[in-house]
A and B are shown apart, each in its own frame.
Chain A
Amino acid sequence: MYPADLKYTKDHEWLRENGDGTVTVGITDYAQDALGDVVFVKLPDVGEQLAYGGDFGEVESVKTVSELFSPCDGAISAVNGDLEAHPEWVNEDAYGKGWMVKVALAGALSAELLDAAAYEAFVNAESK
């Protein structure tokens, strides 16, 4: 449920380091399950600057609208435009086809990011 090669935030975003100075960002399996069926994802434009913890988009489900918070500093280098036609991919494949943006990193990753085990423990505590 929480792949070991990813890093996580307490706002339920995941981040994958691509090894070329960019990272891929999405929301976790826990987040998509809590939101329910995703019907719309609003993403930023390529080139937009992100700050760690700042909001960069919205994900809308049949139940609610939730903001997306950036897990890093940097500039948007790609967005997953397919989600416009296929918002269900966020539910079906949160870590794969459901990715949301790629970010060209500016500076180091925050030390606050969690590894898979720490995130799982956080989620288990929150859902109690």
Chain B
Amino acid sequence: MNLRQREPLIFERSVPGKIGLDLPKLDVPPAKDTRPAHLRRTSFDALPSCSEPEVIRHFTKLSLWNYGMDQGMYPLGSCTMKHNPRLNEKVAGLPGFADSHPMADEALVQGNLALIHTLQEWLKEITGLAAVTLQPSAGAAGELTGVLLIRAYHVANGRKRTLILIPDSAHGTNPATAAMAGYEVVDVASGADGTVSFEDVTDPATGKVKKGLTSLIAEHHDEIAGLMVTNPNTLGIFEHRIDEICKAVHDVGGLVYMDGANMNALVGVARPGDFGIDVMHMNLHKTMSTPHGGGGPGAGPVACTKALEPFLPRPIVVRDTEKIGEGEVPKHTYRWDWDRPQSIGKVHTFFGNFGMLIRALTYCYSHGGDGLRTATLRAIVNANYIRKELMGVYHLPITSPTMHEVVFNDEFQAKNDVHTLDIAKRLIDYGFHPPTIYFPMVVHGALMIEPTESESKEELDAFVHAMKMIAKEAEENPDLLHQAPVTAPLRRMDETTAARKPVLRWQPA
């Protein structure tokens, strides 16, 4: 319990001359300061002066205001905020892993290399693809790696390809990735069911026509480097024509990139390699239960077909098996394969965020293949339970079957002038982290809910109850929702001023 709710900045707690640590007098000759004058700090006034207990209390208090998976449900759609099993942490903390150095000789870190190799094999099996790099540090880094592989492939084949097709329901990072890799982005229309449309789509309100896949391919055929698709898409809908989409792109010599952000809905059930995907990333910090920040960085491994393998970032871990006698246990040695002349180069220092790879492999082994599949099915059941319970209470703008997440909006509540932001803020008062809001942008006022498989039925029921109470309040007391949150240490933030006139750091008065 916080007895004092307000907490000033550490700079505001500062009193000149106060010290937290009394250093002994220097009793050796000072080293010669060789820094150029302009790099030397002349005054330390800008650093706060506080005692040790003040520093500890300050940061402890701030940490108590934080909200994470360990405090409650975090149904942030598209982000897959699932439980980070403590076993992952225990294994990652084993001294053989935690104390090893990335520049250690191969012979001294055979276990680490074996771990990397084993995870590569698991991800090949899960994605149905031929090769894997574990280097990229997160989803968007994986996307860029994947699109650079597509680019390297076309260049190596002497083809000039300048366009990437991206459905209008895609993650915002997809067009940014394609542009960063030097491609022009062309939007593909979505149909009324929320999936990629082959036919042109006419907006009923404006009469504007947006081109579907068939006419875009006819128009641009040999300019198309590839298509980036998120499957299931940002509405949680499986692209049920994915095999036809891949075939249409392949027929004109393009490749298909899959954003695997929503892989939590597919692991153990469907393999992207089997439905025609050429290259994809997976977010280990979503699907494989490694932490989203706080406990460490992310990881976005990329899997690809045999045709793209030569271009993967280097090095890759390979395994050599010594021939041995009948009935003996085979002897494996692992090594870094740097001899990859067509590689796009490195995309991360050393070999990626190794600590995350340990946690991901722990997750795989602790579940086993059947357990990973069960987790997927439970994630889908949980999202559909919420969908069923809240249908009619909140508006469901697109009614196609959904997988691991569900997108409602504020249409029913808007008639009482209660909007998505108000609903999200009020959830804080009920003790839940709000869902993703105003995304995807194809839905007006979206509330995008992803419970993940981590939640029990009791927790889901508590969330549903909170959402129903809020809908009731929207009818009876809309003003309360406009003021929410009312129980949090800080009330409604002024997001407008924060965006218009951002104060990015403390300045001395």
Contacts and interface: CB of A to CB of B under 8 A. Distances in A.
A63 B496 contact: no
A121 B37 CA distance: 69
B441 A64 contact: yes
A1 interface: no
A62 B205 contact: no
B207 to A, nearest CB: 7
Interface string A9-27: 0110000000000000000
Contacts of A63: 421, 438
B505 interface: no
Contacts of A53: 208
A63 B441 CA distance: 10
A13 B500 CA distance: 23
Contacts of B495: 37, 62
Given A10-B205, A11-B206, A126-B205, A64 B438 contact: yes
B156 interface: no
A39 interface: yes
A30 interface: no
B496 A37 contact: yes
A40 B206 contact: no
Contacts of A40: 499
A74 interface: no
A53 to B, nearest CB: 8
Given A62-B495, A63-B421, A64-B441, A87 B206 contact: no
Interface string A77-98: 0000000000110000000000
Contacts of A37: 495-496, 499-500
Contact of A39 (B207, B208, B421, B499): B499
A87 B499 CA distance: 10
Interface centre among B208, B421, B496 (most CB of A within 10 A): B496
Nearest to B499: A39
Nearest to B500: A39
Given A63-B421, A63-B438, A64-B438, A10 B496 contact: no
A62 B500 CA distance: 10
Interface string A116-128: 0000001001100
Nearest to B206: A10
Interface string B205-222: 111100000000000000
Interface in B412-429: 421
Nearest to A125: B205
Nearest to B438: A63
Interface string B474-509: 000000000000000000000110011000000000
Interface centre among A62, A65, A87, A122 (most CB of B within 10 A): A62
A64 B444 CA distance: 10
Contact of A87 (B205, B207, B500): B500
A88 B500 contact: yes
Nearest to B414: A127
B502 to A, nearest CB: 10
Given A37-B496, A40-B499, A10 B207 contact: yes
Interface in A9-60: 10-11, 37, 39-40, 53
Contact of B496 (A62, A65, A125, A126): A62
Contacts of B441: 64-65
A39 B496 contact: yes
A125 B207 CA distance: 14
Contact of B499 (A10, A62, A122, A126): A62
Contacts of A126: 205
B454 to A, nearest CB: 29
A40 to B, nearest CB: 7
A63 B439 CA distance: 9
B44 to A, nearest CB: 35
Contacts of A125: 205
Interface string B401-443: 0000000000000000000010000000000000000100100
A33 to B, nearest CB: 12
B475 to A, nearest CB: 20
Contacts of A11: 206
A62 B492 CA distance: 14
Contacts of B421: 63
Contacts of B499: 37, 39-40, 62
A87 B497 CA distance: 11
Contacts of A62: 495-496, 499
A74 B500 CA distance: 31
Interface string B230-247: 000000000000000000
B369 to A, nearest CB: 41
Contacts of A65: 441
Contacts of A39: 496, 499-500
A66 B496 CA distance: 16
A122 B203 CA distance: 13
Interface centre among A10, A39, A87, A125 (most CB of B within 10 A): A39
B74 to A, nearest CB: 21
Nearest to A123: B205
Contacts of B207: 10
Contacts of B438: 63-64
Interface of A: 10-11, 37, 39-40, 53, 62-65, 87-88, 122, 125-126
Q: Which 3 pairs between the two chains have the least Cβ-Cβ distance? A: A39-B499, A37-B496, A10-B206
10 contacts: A10-B206, A39-B496, A39-B500, A40-B499, A62-B495, A62-B496, A63-B421, A64-B441, A87-B500, A88-B500
Given A10-B205, A11-B206, A37-B496, 15 more contacts: A10-B207, A37-B495, A37-B500, A39-B499, A62-B495, A62-B496, A62-B499, A63-B421, A64-B438, A65-B441, A87-B500, A88-B496, A88-B500, A122-B205, A126-B205
